[in-house]
Structure 1
């Protein structure tokens, strides 16, 4: 990613170009990304292709003002961080589902980041929906407190690492560095398989300054802290307005989950 594109990306997330690629700047960029770029799977239900290249991800997230899911959000964020002087490695993970069952290989993409002065590494993840607001200390095994919850990175079998949130396992990391293209097969599976929860549901969610806003199908959910929650069902006209006003996404039709044969 060249300097011009990096500057456009920084404008997209409302962040200044950091003078130094240090942990303070990484924390600020991480949270600004979560505030500005929604976690969403609308492309799957709008019949739009998902292309895992740096250029395509930039065009979608920055050019079109859209969001995406893990491969897109963390894939694009990795390119931005590298352009700013950070060392970044892509890591594959398997997400824990119901009953502690692990998803398929390459089920999730997360980032291992080092600063320009070699500080870290840090686990950065702007593509897991509700998760940590700030990067986690990758080699730290004690509980790490974050506005998004209490997180812990624990040793797992075969040299893997489990990432837990509030005591519950979120995903299992394979520590070997990967390339963006390695995730293409599972990205295709997530888009097309009847067994994929992304294929079965429709979601658009973004961190706010006081909580989170989520549009799941027709249900709009606004939360503030741990105590205040408002939700209501929207009409077709309200749905399009909600995408535009809460997420900056202008659509010409309401996305809908197609029946699974």
Structure 2
């Protein structure tokens, strides 16, 4: 095993007690464990703090400090973990279509991973918030593939691949991408945009998500939502910063940063 990540610390963080190997069971299992324990969250942009992407910073924040992060942080960390175990991993970059029209032209602001295993290519993505992929998908078009939650599939349209999930009987696109490997600088540029640009949602809204075996949890500003398959979503309105703090700590398992402006920013979130 090789790499720049403290693998034992990461495995403790995600509650993994079995052996690991460069095989499909480990790939799928770690993806599920990761999204259940390391939440999607954007507190750094909300507080005007930098989002650092080097392995040491990612390990400190997401593994040792009990924090989470968004797609670049989550998937860069996961890629380092997989490489340390012995997987062959490359990063891809995508244009988000979730909650956009199918023909929308959006910026390349999302990261996912391609993994080569036993002569086959797989996709995994631990950084897509409330509709995150729980597991891994074979890189094969037009095949419905089961996950721990909704079925997912990949389709090819106009030369691009699209990641889709079946939500309430309808196939919805999460994002579109091609198969050219991206370099770290691509993520650095996109990360700067999503963490600082006024057109990005992240500097002005609180967004968090965590997905366990039986539910998807999401938070957008004051609205906390729990979704279980086959049931109507449970929506809870959080009145103030104390209620938001409690949900972030108890439901999203976050160790909140010590920051003088945190409560003011939480109280001033859009309604």
Alpha-carbon displacement from aligned partner over 1:182-233 (angstroms, at most 9, x marks no partner): 2111111111222223234211110123202222212222233331533222
Alpha-carbon displacement from aligned partner over 1:38-68 (angstroms, at most 9, x marks no partner): 1111111112110111111111100211111
Which 4+ runs in 1 deviate beyond 6 A? 257-260
TM-score by length of 1: 0.89
- The runs of 5 or more residues in structure 2 that have no matched partner are none
TM-score by length of 2: 0.86
- Partner of residue 178, structure 1: 182
Deviation at 1:259, TM superposition (A): 8.6
Q: How far apart in 1 are the matches of 2:20 and 2:195?
A: 39
- Partner of residue 104, structure 1: 107
- Counterparts of 1:130-149 in structure 2, within 5 Å, are 130-149=131-150
- Counterparts of 1:99-248 in structure 2, within 5 Å, are 99-100=101-102, 101-105=104-108, 107-115=109-117, 118-129=118-129, 130-158=131-159, 160-166=160-166, 167-234=171-238, 235-248=240-253
CA contact (8 A) 2:244 2:266 kept: no
Deviation at 1:174, TM superposition (A): 2.0
The total of aligned residue pairs comes to 256
CA contact (8 A) 1:199 1:257 kept: no
SS of corresponding position for 2:154: strand
Deviation at 1:17, TM superposition (A): 5.5
Deviation at 1:145, TM superposition (A): 2.6
- Partner of residue 7, structure 2: 6
CA RMSD of aligned residues (A): 2.3
Distance 1:259 1:7, change over 3 A: closer
Distance 1:176 1:4, change over 3 A: closer
